[in-house]
Structure 1
């Protein structure tokens, strides 16, 4: 099935009936950037400790060079940690990855089994859309798209079908198609714009290179919900993409001045947006 404008994005129209794997694909790139070099340096340290002969060979060429090589892993690891932690978006990005992992590990498998049993007898668009939402939560976005394609072929007019399709296409990197689906969802139910769907539309439009649409969605969110970290962030990025850097900086300054609500649970994505804004104000680069 073709999901919208731009390059076509097709899926298998005959979804399988397997439940999500207990080991979904992980997106811990920030964590890997920290862990892999640390393991490499630890391995070098162990090599020099366990096999002192190798160190001796190095010292035979240059005693001073050998000492420096011996100390390098011990010195480089703390330095690497300091550099990683000094980059403002690093920890929020890591928290976002961990939150996504937690969501995937806690997917409601009982509900999935019940829905699979129901659609074997009658594949209602509502059940197919709900099932696709669970697969999206589990990180199995191609499987979600297959069920959503079936829901649309069965005549679904539920805006949530398009919203879930936008989520899946967004995660698969098909931004033009994701933007088309989220806009269809907002057209069918404008009240979705009062929730996270409007911010998702702004984010997808920005990532798809549609800066004017991203600006429009961000401004609508600001008008309907008031100032929020993510609305101001995506507005700033959309303005920056259009070359309106002074206006983008004003939006970032407004974001910076927003108070943190100590009574609410911290949102990793909002923390990431704050960190990106802080970095952009400091360096003058893209939000």
Structure 2
């Protein structure tokens, strides 16, 4: 029987007596995504688009390949990989997300493991391939999870990752900046820092694709609802307290400066699709 299992580095609030900021932040991230686990798929069209683009870099036949889906969420990538014949281990920071992945994939997946991308609970050279779609942006230093992904991958294997780059959601960030001075939108890594992380983790043989993807909305409320619906509303150092309806209406008004000729509002994402050959 396939179970969701903890590891020695599982991120759960009751696990830690250490009160460091990094651990507290990971617990907060885990809880934010846990709360959104059941609503995630309803709001994750963009995330599925990015996952499809990333998986298109792999062959259709993955029969027998041992693959780690790191930051698996509700198991969308896992399901696609299983359909190609892969043997997939699901890993995520959030136990609730893993439970949803199990609902989707059941016993078709090899295992479901609560895991921190910066301290993976797997032996060296355990996998032929590691795939991580839109999860690594939640790590403070990208070089750390890249080193861990390398460690658990066999020589000659491959790492695939997608992450968001600086400039993503700039319309929402600019609109909020007209309302108050608090941070309401996450900061994302710039391309130079990403290249430094690749160099620091000795990922020499790599390919980066940098698509810009625009998702169109009727209102800014819809965008913010999607971000909350996938759990991406955890902002480090954000102001505390509820945001009033009048404040949100102010954001909506400011966002209208970006509307196109059809009256639709853009949410721009700068995406990095990375493929690393070991």
Structure ranking higher in strand proportion:
2
TM-score by length of 2: 0.28
TM-score by length of 1: 0.27
Higher Rg of the two aligned structures? 1
